[in-house]
Structures are given as C-alpha cells and as structure tokens.
Amino acid sequence: MLVIGLFAHLQACVLRFQTRKALKTLTAEQCMDIGVTPEERVMEANKASVRGFLQGLFHYKES
C-alpha cells in the first residue's frame, strides 16, 4: 500500500507541475474565465520549476 500511495503522490506532483507550467501560456481573458487573477497566475507559474516540484514532492498534505 505504501508503494501505491507513493506513486499516486508522485503522479499528483507531476500533474501539478504540468498545470503550473501551462499557466504561463494563458491569456488575460483565459485567466478571467477560470477565475485566476494575474498575480495568482504569476505566483503559481513561478512554482513550475525543479525546486517547486521537489518542494511539492516532499511536502505531502493529506486532503
């Protein structure tokens, strides 16, 4: 079970990284459509780095 949980967490971290990376390509109108302010978009997009990925990987939060 531990291995399955580890892989599920890794998969979620990869998906989060890809989503944050995709935020960089959104236009202002698209940001308005999804309810993200330009400041929030920049903050989240800046987390799309190796450092941000590793922080998310090792900082597990149970939802």
What is the 3-class SS of the chain, one letter each residue?
Answer: CHHHHHHHHHHHHHHHHHHHHHHCCCCHHHHHHHCCCHHHHHHHHHCCCHHHHHHHHHCCCCC
pLDDT tens for the chain, residues 1 to 63: 889 988 998 999 899 999 999 998 998 899 999 999 989 999 988 888 888 888 888 885 655
pLDDT, position 57? 82
Full-model pTM: 0.74
Structural domain count of the chain: 1
Q: Which domain holds residue 8?
A: 2-58
- How much is the pLDDT for 60? 57
* Residue 25 in domain: yes
Task: Report if residue 29 sits inside a domain.
Answer: yes
63 falls within a domain: no
Q: Which pLDDT score is estimated for 11?
A: 94
pLDDT value at residue 6: 87
